[in-house]
Structure 1
Amino acid sequence: MSDRLRKYLHRFFGFLTIFFLVLLCYQWVSGQPATSWFKTAPKKVFTQKPGTYSKKQRQEIADAVSKEDQKGLGINKQGYVAMPKLSILMPIYDNAYSKAALDKGANTSQAKGAAVPVMGQGNYTLAAHNWDNGYTGFSALQEKLKQNMPYEDSSGNFGTSSWLNGEYVYLANRNGIYRYKIVGQSTCDQDDGRVLGPDERIDNKAKLTIVTCLFPDTTKRIITSAEYKDYSPWETAKSSEVMLFDLKKQKTNVLP
């Protein structure tokens, strides 16, 4: 074998080895939780340290959170949703059946014709896009990107996940901040409206139901359930929680 051919084969197999290593690395990264440091480090929403907020500043934040800004689309502002663990911060509107509304943020997803749910009462149902990137919309609610597991196995059987159990979801409107604690995730078909039932409860307590698509099987939905814990008016809410909704400092994660 000539030296020239030997060098060519050496380079070829070297490039081939690097290619497969990169491919394996990509597959490993894709399968990691959305909260892995290398996925979230450059994408943090809540970067500000909490300070103290005066009564006037708290009122300004409350006004900003509830300000109507999409009347031209025929949708009404309900407030904001924040999940610090996942760097989620989005406005909430009232029509999950409108593509235009879903492009603006999260939306209440009550059954058609039903009353818009009320924060802190009954079954508060929310929906937003899963952009399959672990960051924007409700994408970060999926435990592992580009994998149906653990929500659906290879045979199509539904599964559950507890990876977010104990994490808090905060809702805010003009009145104050509502706290919910995640108790689990489940799976349903895209047309299964039972999870939107206004009478759904967790241990007879009000609950929060968050709906988003599963990827790659987009015919299924990830259902994140959280139980209602308590509420604080803006005047007495913790500064660390008020900070979550300080829209002068924080960035939303609505669209890619």
Structure 2
Amino acid sequence: MVLFGSIVNALAIIVGTLIGLLLRRIPEQMKETVMMAIGLSVVVLGISMALKSEDFFIVIVSLVLGTVIGEWLRIENHLQSVGNMLERKLGKSETGNIAQGFVTATLIFLVGAMAIIGALDSGLRQDHAVLLTKSMIDGFTSMILASTLGIGVLFSSIPVFLYQGGIALFANVIHQFLSDELLERLIAELTSIGGVMIIAIGINILGLKQIRVANLLPGILVITAIVLVQHHF
């Protein structure tokens, strides 16, 4: 079953979130310290990912162009509007900042190399080992995030399933058009630009500066286009 790994990953996030919500009654001081620990860990993770690039200049160019597009499309504002709507329906006092939890968790779960490699393995070889390993990591991470950010983390399971499931379903098509060498380069650059976004998330969690991380997302499409053009020319 091609989608098995993606389904398990989404379910792990949901279960982890539900467990995390049960832990929300921990003291505020402990929550604050836990969030600082998460923020620092996320920054370190982002730095390690960002260093994967073979040509960091194109990462910078992609981030700049992607940010211009993201600001023009106001992606962060639209996500915040959806979060606000859900908060009105579910009650913000009980659920926390849904938009923040959703955006933070989604980016953490999607921008790493495991999401791409695992989905490709599921689609090409029906080998779900990478995604099952990622599921355990995401389940634990969602539990920690949900204990502080609330139920918004649960909704990240939807884009995780759609993103990884889509790659798995179209893996054979992707493999036909991209050589192993090109695919490896593309994964490295996507991991790098994703790492920068992860650093931005960590900065947000630490409260050092509020960065509209969602507006950086078009950079992923820009760097994909640049790598493909470089390869062919």
TM norm structure 1: 0.29
Greater per-residue helix proportion: 2
Tell which has more relative contact order, 1 or 2 (C-alpha 8 A, sep 6+): 2
Greater share of strand: 1
Larger radius of gyration: 1
